[in-house]
Structure 1
Amino acid sequence: MDPVVIIGGGVIGASLAYHLRDHPRPVVLYERNALGSGTSADSVALFVWHQSSPDESSHNLRARSWEQYEPLVRDETLSFEQIGTLDVAKTDEEAENLQSLTEDIEEFGAEATFLEPDALSDHGIDPTVVAGAMFTPEDGYLDPSEIIQHYIHEATDEGVTVETQTAVTDVVTEDGRVTGVETEAGNHDAAAVVNAAGPWAPTVNDMVDISLPFRHNRGPVVVLQKDESFSLPFVQFGDGMYFRGEGRNQAFAGDFGASFDDAELLNPAGARSIPHEFYLEIDDRIQEAIPRLEGVELVNEWVGVRTLTPDGVPTVGKTEVDDFYIAAGMNGLGVTLAPAVGEFLAGVITGGSVDDDVESYLSPARFS
């Protein structure tokens, strides 16, 4: 029996393999490098109830993901550090917008509070240079490698095949329907193919002549360290710069990168470097607003590539090519949404019951 083929071994591909583990057809996952070596490895791995633009459908997907994550955190299969998110306002206008956003998020059912400046010193922020912040205390970070290992272990125990160091070089179609894939190791028939290739998703789409409005941005991250221990929530500013506590005495500092309008298609394998100006911007922001990080030293750095969509919503579901599916364009929310996306798409592929609202919300057809 021809298999369902998943292209991509990050958190999304691994989640889908797990949710398809009971499929009557064989399931084969191909990863061009090592599992989790792409965008998942470069992620700061947040699970967030926080939203910058209120969207109840997005909240509901997060809730479905947490329903799956929570028991795994509780039994210590997955580690989770609940540090909370501070969305910091530097002007009165930003503060008013965040107060309104706080009310919206609370209406969805998430815990959110607007904090006045004086309350922010407890979180490491200088209260004299900010106008307040929205605090979502239940946010935190996971470990992408643990998520992938769990999903892949459970999937392979049920017969899913995982092939690493095996790039898919072409998707074969006949009369508008997927019939197989070509890999560096040979050609293979397929009953269905899923593009879960992260930043490589546009390249895979080109193999079947599908055009979806994906773009990339670069997300620089530096790791900062102090000798003494400290704590820091996930702190984000309106200009896209963020900081996130990591363990006992480290923090990540990064930038969300260009918006969709300013982004472009990149070569995911291309060289990536952090401009010197970014180090200066980080130092300036610490000196200006985050006294808790004064005296840190830079100990590591990398640049990730995110895949963006025009509306900031992932693209998940059927495409115009029969038996070719997609789960890409996570807009930096791959870790947050992986369980819900895998569960939903598995239902679509197997012909199971799926939520019509979720289907229309995520559908690639919304760009037609």
Structure 2
Amino acid sequence: MDPIVIVGGGIVGASLAYRLRDHPRPVALYERDALGSGTTGDSVAIFVRHQSRPDPLSHELRERAWEHYEPLIEDGTLDFERIGTLDVARTDRGLADRREAAEALSEFGVEASILEPAELADHGLDPDAVTGAMWTPNDGYLDPAEIVQHYVREATAGDGGVTVETGTAVTDLRVEDGAVVGIETANGTRPAATVVNAAGPWAPAVNDMAGVSLPFRHNRGPVVVLGKEEPFSLPFVQFGDGLYVRGEGRTQAFGGRFGASYEDAGRLDPTDARSVDHDFYLEIGERIETAIPRLEGAEVVADWVGVRTLTPDGVPAVGESAVDGFYLAAGMNGLGVTLAPAIGEFLAKRIAGESVDPEVAAYLSPDRFA
């Protein structure tokens, strides 16, 4: 039988491969580089129940993902550091918005509250620099490489396991009479009954190969790793202007920027060399000086720039496309680690012809952009 082909070996592709391991058709995953080396590897790996604009279906997907993560954390398969999220306000209007968000999240069952400036000193912030923050204490970070390795190990186990080829870029798709029938790689043409685009920042290029037009855009997210000699702790702190910091272990923190909004984003070449602009160093340094005394004296020990794939509404595109047999699991908008288990489960059911929640299917459907 012709196989189901997954294009992309990041956290979403690995999650889907794991979910499809018992499918009657063979399953093959192709990764152009090393597993987890794209956006997954550049991620700050936060699992967040926090939402600045709470949406019940997004919350449902996060809870479903956590149902998969939690037992793996409890049995020691995956590491999870619970540090919490602080969504910081620096104006009265901003605090009012966060208060509304906290109330909505509480209605979903999320532990969320508003902290006054004096309380934020305990989390490493200058109380005089903020008006308050929304606090979701159960958020934390995982190790994305650990997750990918677990999923791939489980997916490939046994005689009928998923086939994984790394260092093998899919260079084109074969489409005949409106249906995908194969893929092309440097090693030749391979047949395919189904192709899934889980290619992260390369997803727009894979769509082009299939003749599928979706409004994906990219942004760049710079990250610096800040280190100090003495131990310290920080939650995941979001500022309303797109800057964030996140504790990492006992002596380091990440400082980053979420990148351009969809309206200001464009399409990028993910293979372009990327370096952190000097202006970003200055921006992080100024924010530490004005609002994060706990990071005073920290030095930059590493940096990188990740490329994220965005959709107009901030929701991933997951499901069938207009080309028969061509599916998408892309446009994660920076939420790949948070949503991957739920996305993999949902799409595996879709491919197998099993029933799924129709409201979730419509929410994720690529057809919503038609």
TM-score (norm: length of structure 1): 0.99
- Aligned counterparts, 1:104-119, within 5 A: 104-119=104-119
Letter in 1 for 2:26: P
| Number of the residue aligned with 2:288 | 286
| Number of the residue aligned with 1:341 | 343
| Number of the residue aligned with 1:41 | 41
TM superposition shift of 1:99: 0.5
Q: Distance in 2 between matches of 1:273 and 1:189?
A: 39
TM superposition shift of 1:274: 1.3
Letter in 2 for 1:119: E
| Number of the residue aligned with 1:272 | 274
| Number of the residue aligned with 1:250 | 252
Letter in 1 for 2:300: L
TM superposition shift of 1:275: 1.3
Q: Distance in 1 between matches of 2:319 and 2:231?
A: 45
Q: Deviations over 1:262-290 (max 9, x none)?
A: 00000000111211111111011001011
TM superposition shift of 1:128: 1.2
- Aligned counterparts, 1:1-368, within 5 A: 1-158=1-158, 159-368=161-370
TM superposition shift of 1:89: 0.3
Letter in 2 for 1:88: V
TM superposition shift of 1:353: 1.5
Kindly report structure 1 stretches of 4+ aligned residues shifted beyond 3 Å: none
Q: Distance in 2 between matches of 1:333 and 1:263?
A: 17
Letter in 2 for 1:177: A
Count of aligned positions: 368
TM superposition shift of 1:105: 0.7
Letter in 2 for 1:105: L
Letter in 2 for 1:198: G
Task: Determine what percentage of the aligned residue pairs are the same residue.
Answer: 69
Q: Deviations over 1:22-78 (max 9, x none)?
A: 100000000000000000000000000001111000000000000000000000100
TM-score (norm: length of structure 2): 0.99
Q: Distance in 1 between matches of 2:285 and 2:166?
A: 40
Task: Give the secondary-structure state (helix, strand or coil) at the position aligned to 1:316.
Answer: strand
Q: Distance in 1 between matches of 2:96 and 2:239?
A: 15
Task: Give the secondary-structure state (helix, strand or coil) at the position aligned to 2:215.
Answer: coil
Q: Distance in 2 between matches of 1:291 and 1:176?
A: 59
Task: Give the secondary-structure state (helix, strand or coil) at the position aligned to 1:64.
Answer: helix
Q: Deviations over 1:98-128 (max 9, x none)?
A: 0111001111111101101111010001111
TM superposition shift of 1:184: 1.1
Task: Give the secondary-structure state (helix, strand or coil) at the position aligned to 1:169.
Answer: strand
Q: Distance in 2 between matches of 1:63 and 1:57?
A: 10
Structure 1, gaps ≥5 residues long: none
TM superposition shift of 1:186: 1.2
Letter in 1 for 2:178: G
Q: Deviations over 1:212-271 (max 9, x none)?
A: 000000000000000000000000100000000000100000000000000000000011
Q: Deviations over 1:300-333 (max 9, x none)?
A: 0000000000000000000000000000000000
Q: Distance in 2 between matches of 1:185 and 1:103?
A: 55
Structure 2, gaps ≥5 residues long: none
Q: Distance in 2 between matches of 1:300 and 1:229?
A: 18
Task: Give the secondary-structure state (helix, strand or coil) at the position aligned to 1:203.
Answer: helix
Q: Distance in 2 between matches of 1:84 and 1:342?
A: 25
Q: Distance in 1 between matches of 2:129 and 2:163?
A: 54
Letter in 1 for 2:100: S
Task: Give the secondary-structure state (helix, strand or coil) at the position aligned to 2:52.
Answer: coil
Letter in 1 for 2:201: P
